[in-house]
Structure formats: C-alpha cells, structure tokens
C-alpha cells in the first residue's frame, strides 16, 4: 500500500503549491521511489473544461481525455508520469456522482449528507486506483479556511486517522511576508493559518514557508514552537531562478529528508539529482537566444499558456539557447497589422484558442510568417487559422472561414460531428452540452512519407493529445495541396487532417493537436526542439 502525502495551502493562493508538490514528487523519484500525484479541486465545475483560461489558467488534457487543472501539467513535466482521469477531482464531479446515485436509490432511504457521503466519496477517490506506487501526493486546491474546501480537509483528516501517522504526512505551504517598512519577516499569518488547520483537526507535519529572504534560526524556532512542528520541519521556500531549480532548492532546504523522516524512513537512499543539475546548468548558461512572437488572445494571463511556455523553454534547452517570449494580442493586429510587432521575432507561434475575438489577427500573423519566410508554428486554432489563410490567399477561396466564428462563407473548418475512437464512433450535435464533449485526449496520426514532420518525429505513427470541437474539412485537401499547403499528417482513416506544412518554407507547420502537453524538460518535444532550431537559424540570418 502506498504512503500518502497531503499538501494544503494557507494565507494566500498562488504560493506555488502545485509546483511544490511536483518538486516533492520529483525528489522522491530521484531516491528511487515510484510516485503518483493527484489534485482535489473544491470548485463546483465538474472539470475546468468550461472555465475561462482568464479565470483558471490553462486546461490540461491527459492521454485518456480528462480536462484537468494545470497543476497536473507540472506533475507530468516534473515526474514524467502521465496523469489520468483518476488524478483530478472536483466538488462538481463528486456531487454529480452522489446525486446520480441518490436518484437511482442507491442510498436505500438514508439522508445523504456532506459527512459521511461526500467525504466518503473524496476518500474513495484518494485511495482508489493508485497502482503500484510508493507514494501518492495529494494536493488540495484553494486555501485553508475556504468554505468550499471544508469537506476535502475533513476527508483528509479522516484519512490521516485511518492510515496512521506512519502512512500519512501533512505538508502545509504558507507565506512569510516581508514588511519592507519594518525590515522584518512576519510569522503571524503562518501561525494563524496553522491555527485554522488545527481547528479542523489537522496538525501539519511540515511547513513549507514561501519567503523572500532567508528564515533566521530564531524565526524557525519561533514558527516551530507556535505551530507545533519540529524546527527542522520548517522549510524555507524562496523563489528559485527557474522552475526547474525548485527540486534542487527544496532538497537543499531538506524537504525530502524531512518528509521521509516523518514516515520513519531515515535510512532511505540518497537522491540522484544529476539530471536536475544538468537541466539547471543548461538554463543558467545558454549559448545564445531567440525571440518567439506568440500571437494569442489570453495574453493578459500567462497561466493560460502554461504548458506552451514550458514546451518553448524545453525547445530552448534542446538547442542550448534562451527563448524570449514576445506576447502579442492578436486583436491588435486587426487594426495595426502584424508587420511592426513581428518584425524582430525569429519565430511566430499561434497557439490554441476559442471564439471569434482576434481571429483575423491570427490569420494575418500566419500570412506574415508565410510570406516573410519566418518560422511559423500553428497549434490547434493556430493551425486552423493558417489553413484559412492559405484557402483565402492561395487557393482562391476568398470567403473561407470556420463555423466557429461565422455562419456565412465557405466553412473550410467545420464542426466535428462524428469521429472514431479505436473501434467506437463518437457523435456530437451543434446543440449538445459544452462540457467534456470535444475531441479529447490521445489520438493517433499517420505522417506522410517525405514530409518534414516525419523527419522531425523520426516516426510514421504518432499519438498526440487533442482538445477541439472543429476540424479542417478534408474535402479541401486537393485544392489546398495544389496551392502548396501539404496535409502531412492525417488520422489513420484519412478523414481528419492532423498536420499541415509548406514545403517551400524554412519551417511552417500547423498541428491540430497540442504537442506542448507532452513536452518534458528531459525530453523536449521534437516539434518544439525543431521549431526553436529553425528560429535559431532565422536569428543568424537577420
């Protein structure tokens, strides 16, 4: 049976709890243990699929088609363990299961209540389907004291009792604010946060204290005393130079040693951190830099593009260069044109997106990159816009558009109403539910012989993660190919265009899927590595 580590947050949100959990998982892995990470989200949406990226950041998609919290992206990138449907749950999902069972009569006349029914469901989720791992790390979203989080805290409190201290450890991530005017670090918010946690029956074993300056031994002692934890269990968590330095930093501060000590595993093997060290050096000592212009719609909140940003940095690591990102709101292009803002970039990337706002700007960006022969990477919506651009400006379909944003004109991109998943046919209609009904998760594609993508992947068959409702209409293939846009990757049945590229361009690729979701610092995704390589070439030319 695995041991459980519960990670909670206090004082404020955005303390990097997800990252801390991912780093903890990576450190245990470096000691030879098998880990699995899970996230419990106390909001009422069934999943984050219907939430605006402005509110909740990126929606991460797993191989098995779950739309999940972006923290699962951190977990995968740091541990390489693919997440699945069973690694993220929300209040909404729990309640919908309970209400379904209640309607079926499964509760046999009982009054259905938060305790025990909701808490039992949460416990069942935490314990189920863990597989053959040594540690399950379970992060609770939100902050202690939030009303909606209470059933989750109660459930993990009960689990702490049931599993026993030798099998369950509680880590609380908190903040030690630095008050400039007083020149002092303050421990009171942390004391209050722990008090709040203890009032609902949870005594943290470890405090991971986010702070700007080092914690003095005196403050560690004070925090330990007031919060009833060992002094050595007060761990300093200062901002790291890069995301991928976080495991090394937390190790230096003794986090993994303390976790193992709580489990009574003092004689655990020392970690092998060599791969983290080499990533850290690669990031700290780049040999050159490139600038990529990202033409999107949610540029006001960079969490909306979390995996994309990371994948671009992985591409940088693969080429030994630093990647600078220039964020551009595609709507701006609609008035001022793309030329001036894109003049100095070495590559243009149009990421995924939804809705009508800013589409013409994305189309203009694709045209700029095609005509100026600047490396171009179109992802999902970005690919669809590149196809519309080709249809309008090369293939003579002047009114080409997508049914996503117009009911008039020629729908080169149309609503996907039927597709196959393995041997099953999935069907959708235009008036169906929005939640969980896109083409989601891993689907195979076959790459054409002699194409650039086949060369980049070094394979003819690939599997990539999808999340979209619309699709390039394969009926336009011949017309588009005749004007130069090659359909270089298709679904195995040849019906769904997966990749397009121009042959007579230094690097112009559009993909219907989201390759950024599968990129890891240790295994940069081949498309991102190749794209940054092309941008590097471009930078040498200008």
Nearer Cβ to ligand GLN (404/501)? 404
- Euclidean distance between CA atoms 284 and 274, whole angstroms: 15
**Per-residue tokens: 448:** 């054409």
Tokens of 528: 């991102």
Q: How many residues does the chain have?
A: 542
Say if CB 194 and CB 173 are below 8 A apart: no
Identity of the residue, 135 or 381, whose beta carbon is nearer to ligand GLN in the bound complex: 381
Helix, strand, coil percentages, rounded to 5, for the chain? 40, 25, 35
Residue 184 beta carbon to ligand GLN: minimum distance, rounded to whole angstroms = 47
Quick count: other Cβ atoms within 10 Å of Cβ 270? 10
Owner of token pair 């009904």: 437
Q: Which one, 356 or 455, has the nearer CB to ligand GLN?
A: 356
CA distance 412 to 127: 47
Sequence-distant (≥ 6) Cβ neighbours of residue 471 within 8 angstroms: 413, 414, 415, 416, 439, 496, 497, 512
Structure tokens at 11: 């004082």
Distances (CA, A) of 391 to 2, 370, 494: 55, 13, 20
Nearer CB in complex with ligand GLN: 16/49: 49
Taking each helix axis from N to C terminus, what angle separates 306-319 and 71-79, rounded to the nearest 10 degrees? 20
For residue 89, the cross-strand partners are: 40
In angstroms, rounded to a whole number, what is the distance separating the alpha carbons of residues 256 and 71? Answer: 20
Report in angstroms how near the CB of residue 382 gets to ligand GLN at its nearest: 7
Question: Minimum distance between the CB of residue 243 and ligand GLN, rounded to whole angstroms?
Answer: 24
Q: Which residues bind ligand GLN (CB under 6 A)?
A: 352-354, 380-381, 404, 467-470
CA dihedral 67, 245, 5, 51 (to 10 degrees): -20
Least Å distance, CB 429 to ligand GLN, is 15
End-to-end CA distance of the chain: 58
In the complex, least distance from residue 121 CB atom to ligand GLN, rounded to whole angstroms = 31
Closer of 40 and 299 to ligand GLN (Cβ): 299
User: At its nearest, how many Å lie between ligand GLN and the CB of residue 380?
Assistant: 3
Residue of this chain nearest to ligand GLN (CB atom) = 352
CB distance 292 to 324 below 8 Å = yes
Q: Which is nearer to ligand GLN, 237 or 353 (CB)?
A: 353
Alpha-carbon distance of 332 to 343, in angstroms, equals: 15
Q: What is the DSSP letter of 429?
A: -
Q: At what angle do helices 188-199 and 217-227 cross, to 10 degrees?
A: 20
H/E element holding 435?
A: none
**Listed residue (182, 124, 118) closest to 148, CA to CA:** 118
Beta-strand ranges (E) seen in 249-355 are: 289-296, 322-329, 347-350
The CA distances from residue 86 to 93, 101, 131, 159, in Å, are 12, 19, 11, 18
* Identity of the residue, 325 or 380, whose beta carbon is nearer to ligand GLN in the bound complex: 380
**Closer to ligand GLN at the Cβ: 75 or 354?**
354
State the nearest-atom distance from the C-beta of 400 to ligand GLN, in Å. Answer: 15
| Cβ atoms of residues 144 and 43 within 8 Å | no
Active site residues: 380, 514, 516
Pairing relationship of beta strands 35-41 and 88-90 according to DSSP bridges: parallel
Nearest to ligand GLN of 21, 330 (CB atom): 330
User: How far apart are CB 214 and ligand GLN at their closest, in Å?
Assistant: 43
Task: Tell me the closest approach of the beta carbon of residue 7 to ligand GLN, in angstroms.
Answer: 29
């Amino acid at each position: 049976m695995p041991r459980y580590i519960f990670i909670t947050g206090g004082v404020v949100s955005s303390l990097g709890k997800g990252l801390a959990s991912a780093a903890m998982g990576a450190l245990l892995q470096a000691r030879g243990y098998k880990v699995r990470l899970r996230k419990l989200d106390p909001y009422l949406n069934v999943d984050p699929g219907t939430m605006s990226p402005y509110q909740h950041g990126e929606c991460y998609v797993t191989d098995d088609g779950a739309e999940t919290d972006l923290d699962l992206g951190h977990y995968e990138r740091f541990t390489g363990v693919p997440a699945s449907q069973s690694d993220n749950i929300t209040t909404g999902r729990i309640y919908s299961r309970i209400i379904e069972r209640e309607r079926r009569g499964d509760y046999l006349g009982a009054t259905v209540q938060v305790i025990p029914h909701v808490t039992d469901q949460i416990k069942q989720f935490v314990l189920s389907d863990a597989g053959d791992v040594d540690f399950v790390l379970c992060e609770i979203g939100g902050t202690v004291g939030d009303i909606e989080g209470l059933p989750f805290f109660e459930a993990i409190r009960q689990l702490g009792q049931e599993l026993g201290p030798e099998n369950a450890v509680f880590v609380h991530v908190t903040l030690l604010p630095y008050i400039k005017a007083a020149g002092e670090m303050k421990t009171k918010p942390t004391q209050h946060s722990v008090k709040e946690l203890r009032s609902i029956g949870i005594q943290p074993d470890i405090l991971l204290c986010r702070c700007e300056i080092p914690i003095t031994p005196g403050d560690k002692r004070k925090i330990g005393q007031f919060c009833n934890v060992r002094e050595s269990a007060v761990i300093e968590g200062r901002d790291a130079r890069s995301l991928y330095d976080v495991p090394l930093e937390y190790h230096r501060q003794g986090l993994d040693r303390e976790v193992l000590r709580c489990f009574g595993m003092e004689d655990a093997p020392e970690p092998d951190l060599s791969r983290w060290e080499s990533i850290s050096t690669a990031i700290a000592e780049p040999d050159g830099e490139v600038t990529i212009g990202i033409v999107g719609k949610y540029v006001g909140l960079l969490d909306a593009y979390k995996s994309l940003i990371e994948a671009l940095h992985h591409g940088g690591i693969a080429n030994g260069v630093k990647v600078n990102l220039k964020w551009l709101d595609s709507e701006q292009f609609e008035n001022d044109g793309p030329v001036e803002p894109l003049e100095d970039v070495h590559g243009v990337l149009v990421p995924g997106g939804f809705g009508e706002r800013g589409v013409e700007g994305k189309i203009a960006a694709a045209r700029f990159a095609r005509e100026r022969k600047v490396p171009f990477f179109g992802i999902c919506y970005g690919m669809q816009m590149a196809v519309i651009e080709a249809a309008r400006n090369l293939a003579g379909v002047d009114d080409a558009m997508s049914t996503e944003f117009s009911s008039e004109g020629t729908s080169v991109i149309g609503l996907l109403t039927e597709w196959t998943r393995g041997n099953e046919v999935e069907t959708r209609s235009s008036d169906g539910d929005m939640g969980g009904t896109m083409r989601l998760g891993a689907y195979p594609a076959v790459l054409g012989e002699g194409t650039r993508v086949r060369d980049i992947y070094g394979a003819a068959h690939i599997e990539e993660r999808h999340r979209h409702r619309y699709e390039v209409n394969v009926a336009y293939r011949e017309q588009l190919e005749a004007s130069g846009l090659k359909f270089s990757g298709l679904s195995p049945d040849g019906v769904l265009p997966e990749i397009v590229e121009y042959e007579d361009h230094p690097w112009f690729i559009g993909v219907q899927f989201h390759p950024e979701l599968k990129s890891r610092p240790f295994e940069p995704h081949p498309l991102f590595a190749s794209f940054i390589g092309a941008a590097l070439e471009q930078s040498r030319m200008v």
